[in-house]
Amino acid sequence: MRAKKALSRVLSRAGLCSRKDAERLVAAHRVTVNGRLARDPEQRIDEQRDDVCVDGRRVARAATIVVLLHKPAGHVTTLRDERGRATVYDLLRDVPAFVVPVGRLDRDTTGLLLLTNDTRLADKLTDPVSHVPKVYRALVRGALDDGALAGLRRGIELDDGPTRPAEVRRLREGRRGTLLEIVLTEGRNRQVRRMVEAVGSKVRFLKRVRLGSLTLHGVPRGEWRALDPDEVAALRGRKRDKREQGDD
């Protein structure tokens, strides 16, 4: 038996809008289900059988798209910002479907950010059980001794619980501070910054340079590219079927 989904999620997965905007469409009486006006954005929908329309036009589920964005500093990872700051969506105007971030990067953090309209894939990649490695380059203030690095590797006690063990390498030290490579398999709010502060230093610059096997190679800062089917299949943890390969 197929699992039904909330109407707002169906509209979002169709690449039309965010779930919050889907709720506004329903409230504005612009959505019908099987010819009847929809009144509840949480109404359960069978995507294969139910006929969903917006402004009289039938909603078709968009093809899966996964976007790799080279995020610059100064952009927040949200659809809208109440303070009027630039968002990553300002850089994604040409993406053919509405996509949601796979995790977040804070305003001052740069680097690799994935966005997709496949919410199941997004959930898989952000679930700590998946152990998807995220590699960061962090320039931190001053010099970190071996004890501080060992603490980062073992795990740090933060206010939301202990972090998982991390891979940490000292790449170089200089007048500007210490450059570290940090590999995490979980993603908490401002995690790298909080871990570094817990060992007595402060992050001056932070960039995510890899997620799984994906890197920023060939993607200029502020630009994006769509992942190819093989890359998407790898994120799902499987190889593409021969029948899929013939669809290119």
The burial of 243, by beta-carbon neighbours within 10 Å (0-12 exposed, 13-18 middle, 19 or more buried), is given as: exposed
pLDDT band at 18 (very low <50, low <70, confident <90, very high): confident
Q: Which position among 21, 81, 106, 108 bears the catalytic label?
A: 106
Unique residue bearing structure tokens 């109440």 = 82
Asked if the model's pLDDT at residue 241 lies above 60, the reply is no
Residue 146 annotated in active site: no
What is the structure's pLDDT at 239? 52
Exposure b/e, 204-241, CB count within 10 A at least 16 = b: bebbbbbbbebebeeeeeeebeebeeeebbbbeeeebe
Per residue in 50-66, pLDDT tens? 889 999 988 877 788 99
Using DSSP's 3-state secondary structure scheme, residue 83 falls into coil
Please state which of the ranges 4-18, 147-161, 214-228 shows the lowest mean pLDDT: 4-18
Per-residue pLDDT for 104 more than 70? yes
How do residues 22-39 score in pLDDT, each as one tens digit?
Answer: 999 999 999 999 999 999
CB 149 within 8 A of CB 108: no
Quote the mean pLDDT of the chain: 89
Which pairing describes strands 100-101 and 57-58: parallel, antiparallel, or unpaired?
unpaired
pLDDT at 1 over 70: no
- pLDDT at residue 144, as a whole number: 92
Question: pLDDT per residue over 74-98, tens digit each?
Answer: 999 988 888 999 999 999 988 988 8
Predicted model pTM: 0.79
User: Does pLDDT of 245 surpass 80?
Assistant: no
d(CA 51, CA 59): 8
Domains of the chain in sequence order: 5-58 (3.10.290.10), 66-128+213-245 (3.30.70.580), 133-211 (3.30.70.1560)
Provide the pLDDT confidence category of residue 198 given band limits of 50, 70 and 90. Answer: very high
The answer to which of 128-132, 150-154, 172-176 has the lowest mean pLDDT is 128-132
Q: How far apart are CA 85 and CA 64, in angstroms?
A: 29
Closest alpha carbon to 168 in 179, 156, 155, 152: 152
What value does the mean pLDDT take over residues 190-195?
Answer: 95
